[in-house]
Amino acid sequence: MLLIIFLTLIASIVGYAVLSLPESATNLQGLVDNNIDISGVSNPVTAVLLNFRVYDTFLEMVVLLVALLGVWSIQEVPIESISDFKNPVLHTLVDLLVPFLILVSIYLLWVGAHAPGGAFQAGSVFGAGLVLLMLSGRQPFLNFKGFPLHFALIISVTLFIGISIYSIFATGELLKYPLSQASSIIFILEGMATVSIGLTLSLLFYGIYTKKKSKQ
């Protein structure tokens, strides 16, 4: 009963917030265009997501991490491997596709500063490569687990917090980057976010990483 009341309250608040939104944005495009030179990048979408409204991106990373923790809270894992099916054609195809997907992910990360791309697109492609490995019966997280895996998952959130603290001392404002360092900070943030997003999405698909090889 309490859960129903709580969910109804949340739904009411969200509904009120949506209905209260203005019909159109007020000169937001103009504000971005006028300040693009101090963002550190030339792509307006990246400028908004990784500079002007970077706290939104930080919270999105936290949401992904919390979702994964929710999956990991499930005690019983019904399977240890996505597939035990042996198919040399499939394995050869995956061996060719996964390196290509990694290259595409790196390209999307690099091009995001001045064209469509960025951490979420790059992380999604990277995660798709890991999912392909799992669908072909591989276990990419078998030897990459424990502290190294956990560190890779939280590195972007930790970096966001660290840069937040640094920005206060460097500029006197929260998450306002020094102009000379803005481009480098955004690239580092996007790189770490790509790793965390890719791993998180693939682990959400997998359910939970395996702790031992399946019996042959």
- Statement: residue 215 has pLDDT above 50: no
How confident is the model over 61-81, as pLDDT tens digits? 999 988 888 887 775 454 445
* Cα gap 127→153, rounded to integer Å: 12
Q: What is the mean pLDDT of residues 90-103?
A: 89
Please give the pLDDT value at position 216. Answer: 42
- Calculate the alpha carbon distances from 49 to 11, 111, 119 in Å: 26, 15, 10
- Say if residues 125 and 101 touch (Cβ distance below 8 Å): yes
> Counting Cβ atoms within 10 Å, is residue 203 exposed (0-12), middle (13-18) or buried (19+)?
buried
Please give the pLDDT value at position 213. Answer: 42
Which amino acid, residue 4?
Answer: I
Please give the pLDDT value at position 84. Answer: 57
Q: Which residue has the higher pLDDT, 212 or 94?
A: 94
- Statement: residue 209 has pLDDT above 80: no
Q: What is the mean pLDDT of residues 168-191?
A: 89
Please give the pLDDT value at position 214. Answer: 44
Lowest mean pLDDT among 4-8, 118-122, 144-148: 144-148
* Cα gap 9→14, rounded to integer Å: 9
- Calculate the alpha carbon distances from 90 to 16, 83, 157 in Å: 50, 12, 36
Q: What is the mean pLDDT of residues 154-181?
A: 89
- Statement: residue 83 has pLDDT above 60: no
Q: Which residue has the higher pLDDT, 22 or 41?
A: 41
Identify which of 22, 55, 17, 39 has the alpha carbon closest to the alpha carbon of residue 181. Answer: 39
How confident is the model over 13-27, as pLDDT tens digits? 989 888 887 766 667
To the question of pTM greater than 0.85 for the whole model, the response is no
Identify which of 206, 216, 215 has the alpha carbon closest to the alpha carbon of residue 72. Answer: 206
Please give the pLDDT value at position 39. Answer: 87
DSSP 8-state assignment for residue 215: P
Lowest mean pLDDT among 33-37, 56-60, 129-133, 205-209: 205-209
